[in-house]
Amino acid sequence: MIRHGVKRVRTTAEQLALKKKREAIKITEYRGLVDRVNASRAQGCYNLAALDLTTQLLTWNPEYYTIWNYRREIFTEGLFPTLPDLSSSDLATKLDSVQAVLDADLHFIEARLKQSPKCYWIWNHRKWCLGRSPQPNWAREMKLVGMILEYDERNYHGWEYRRYVVRQHEAALIKALDSQSELDAMVKIDQIKSNLLRTEFAYTTKKINKNFSNFSAWHNRAKLMPQLLSNQTSIALSRKKQDEQVTVDPRFSLVHDPLAFLRAEIEFIRQAIFTDPDDQSAWLYHRWLITSPRAICSGPAANLPGALPLLPLGSTLMTHDEEIDMVKCEIESIGELYDYEPDSKWCIYGLIFFNVYLVKTLEGQRAVDFTAEFQEDIRSKLHKLIELDPLRAGQYRDWESSIFSN
Amino acid sequence: MAETTTQLKYFKEKHIAYIKDLGEKTDELEYWLSEHLRMNGLYWGLTALALMGSVDTLDRADVIAYVKSCQHTSSGGFGASPSHDAHLLSTLSALQILVILDAVDTVDEAGILRYVRGLQDSTSGAIYGDSYGESDTRFVYIAFQILSILGELNSNHPQFSVEKSVDFIMACANLDGGFGMVPGAESHAAQIFTALGALTISNQMHRVDKDLLSWWLCERQLPCGGLNGRPEKLPDVCYSWWVVSSLAMLGRVHWIDGAKLTEFILEAQDEEAGGIADRKGDQTDVFHTLFGTAGLSLLGYEGLEEINPVYCLPNSVMHRVRQPPATN
Ligand SMILES: [Zn+2]
């Protein structure tokens, strides 16, 4: 009912007749299995035989959400109440504990995921199993999702699952903490977060260095940055020069100085843009980075005694003049690229956007105050955009009228 | 209407016949393997027919009887097929079918309300897809649309906080102005459609950065005219709906080239057997047949009924929505 990327093939009447004959057998088989599963559920069977039936059906059709529900009922109504949480022996291969049953199911799900990596129900069921596990193995989950993102670096579910695993892992580590005092706990929690944040941030660096067009990685980076810059452990670590972490990602040595961090990040995105000026991923991230230093660097200041709050909430990262200088610097840099790439739509777009951002948003000029030269420059660039990128002419025309209205 | 440069046309009669036949393909394995989508499929087919001015192609009484047979008396929700568990996805499809057929009062409305309200997380405002499901911006949209159709979108109902679910949607906003499936997730055109739909229904569109998001949306159009759902992905006919309806809610359909998109959709038709595919040369399905047709409708294609970009229902039945958005 929903097909993606399936080539259309014309069949002759004979081929069709043959296909139908073959399918008739399969239909009988499939419907027979569905009937058996439904009958089993109607009778309230929650045993291993019922589990096996759902395994057969879900292997054939993992989209059958009702059967995933039945499978969970078999666990919660039938199997779990009779089993201990953990097996008594490590060597146990039988389903003799809740953990063993769920581990077996995670194994089953892994195979289903390889078969249908975009099926929501399978991902849901995996999260359900982990949520019920007495001893979930988050390191194994990180490895699994690493493999999935290795195979498909943009897999939407994969990235979402990665964030989920990190959150759960963090919660598990915090839960397992043995702390002397409230202060001790706060320090340790901050350390746990620091480790995960730095690992995840470095992971996005790795993915981006492999492919600048990986917007999923840029996106995740934008989500991590404010957290990293307000994490006290990371800040303290970055003050120590020559720390081993510096070899992982040079930016970690700058976490204590958000402005320097931001500058290094601008340098990083500039490399991406100069490498491929037509890459929209880099430009999207760039616009965000330059226009929202406040959002990026004023995450909630941790209130650890003795640690300097990074930035009091509501304050800005830089002075107004510094912000203006930063934007001017970006305009200059894009201008250099534009000299080499006069027909790059993104360069022209960037020049218009940041020039207007500078004079209207930062300097507070009204359109009536624009110099003739500025007006001429912006208008000619907008017209060039319409020429170069006619698909989006409507956007550029609207833009022109909004730039020149007060 | 958008002008096309090719001789291609929309094969209305073929598509009507194609949809009519879908319910009779019981000798194909695919028919049985897709039972979990039957209710959605029925909604997709019926809506496409409605846009073609041909609702009567399906027997009204049969369709209503089928929909009724899928409502669960205990939970109040609808399953995709009679023996399937209730889920929000099929519950909305069921209700949309009933709106098109003007038969909402033939089912247990109180049951639907009970089901929807029971799926809100009272802390985060997230909505679950079913009693086992994950939360997702899609489900907020579905819940809001159902409550709006039934005229029960009260801002201060004791079992359902519209405000909290709006906050959940806003927590899913991203650097590009778009929205992801859950807080933290990357922007995706289909999720943006559901987020904007929910915000439109709840009269909260002022919380969206319209220029930033419209920029991202219009960059979904590729030189071939088709739209993708995220940067650097392949074009697909179904995004003609998710992206263009979003632009329509933002008042910026003209930010893309409608003529080129029209051409892309028309090229994905199966000229012989009817139906529309995800792109040219691929196998058709009822999902892309609806969303291709709905995309054309939004672009003003001649001979199609107008579609409502928020509810994905023909405008001609919108008067049956008891509590439409204030600005609509
Ligand atoms: Zn599609």
pLDDT of residue B328: 46
In chain A, the domains with their CATH numbers are 19-81+95-136 (1.25.40), 137-227 (no CATH), 253-301+316-405 (1.25.40.120)
Most confident of A290-299, B127-136, B212-221: B212-221
Mean pLDDT for all residues in chain B? 95
- How close, in Å, is residue B45 to chain A by CA atoms? 10
Residue with more model confidence, A105 or B133: A105
Strands (E), A278-345: none
CA–CA dist B187, A215 (Å, integer)? 10
What string of pLDDT tens digits covers the 406 residues of chain A? Answer: 889 999 999 889 999 899 999 999 999 999 999 999 999 999 999 999 999 999 999 999 999 999 999 999 999 999 999 999 988 876 656 788 999 999 999 999 999 998 898 899 999 999 999 999 999 999 999 999 999 999 999 999 999 999 999 999 999 999 999 888 989 999 999 999 999 999 999 999 999 999 999 999 999 999 999 899 888 888 888 887 655 555 567 788 888 888 889 899 999 999 999 999 999 999 999 999 998 776 666 544 433 333 333 444 344 577 888 889 999 999 999 999 999 999 999 999 999 999 999 999 999 999 999 999 999 999 999 999 999 999 999 999 999 999 999 7
pLDDT of residue B155: 73
CB contact under 8 A, A8 and B174: no
- Closest residue in A to B223 (Cα) is A391
Look up the pTM and report it. Answer: 0.94
Kindly give, in sequence order, each residue whose CB lies less than 8 Å from that of residue A361, ignoring residues fewer than 6 positions away. none
Q: Tell me the CA end-to-end span of chain B in Å, nearest whole number.
A: 22
Long-range pairs for A68-71: beta carbons < 8 A, 24 or more residues apart = A68/A121, A68/A124, A68/A125, A68/B132, A69/B85, A69/B130, A69/B132, A70/A37, A70/A41, A71/A105, A71/A125
Q: Is the pLDDT of residue B3 over 80?
A: no
Q: Report residue A51: phi and psi, to 5°.
A: -60, -45
Q: Average pLDDT of B14-35?
A: 94
CB contact under 8 A, B286 and A1: yes
Q: Average pLDDT of B147-161?
A: 91
CB contact under 8 A, B231 and A159: no
- Under 8 Å between Cβ of B50 and B293: no
- Under 8 Å between Cβ of B165 and B197: no
Amino acid occupying residue A8: R
Q: Which residues of A touch B2 (CB under 8 A)?
A: none
- How close, in Å, is residue B142 to chain A by CA atoms? 17
For A128, which of B132, B233, B287 is closest by C-beta distance? B132
Q: What is the whole-number distance in angstroms between the Cα of residue A8 and the centre of ligand 1? A: 15
pLDDT of residue A300: 43
Residue B178: which of B202, B199, B201, B209 has the closest Cα?
B209
Q: Is the pLDDT of residue B290 over 90?
A: yes
Say which residue the tokens 């218009």 belong to: A352
CA–CA dist A286, A350 (Å, integer)? 9
Residue with more model confidence, B155 or B253: B253
The domain made up of B1-23+209-328 is a member of CATH 1.10.357.10: no
* Residue B53 φ/ψ region, left for φ over 0, alpha for ψ in the -120 to 50 degree band, beta for the rest: left
- Please tell me the least confidently modeled range out of A209-213, A308-312, B7-11, B183-187: A308-312
Structural domain boundaries in chain B:
1-23+209-328
Structural element, H or E, at residue B31: helix B29-33
Q: Is the pLDDT of residue B22 over 90?
A: yes
pLDDT of residue A140: 95
Find residue B307's DSSP bridge partners. B314
CA–CA dist A266, A261 (Å, integer)? 9
* Residue B159 φ/ψ region, left for φ over 0, alpha for ψ in the -120 to 50 degree band, beta for the rest: alpha
CA–CA dist B308, A215 (Å, integer)? 31
Q: Which of A2, A75, A116 to mutate to test the interface with B (most CBs of B within 10 A)?
A: A2
- Under 8 Å between Cβ of B196 and B249: yes
Distances (CA, A) of A14 to A8, A21, A26, A27, B263: 17, 11, 19, 20, 34
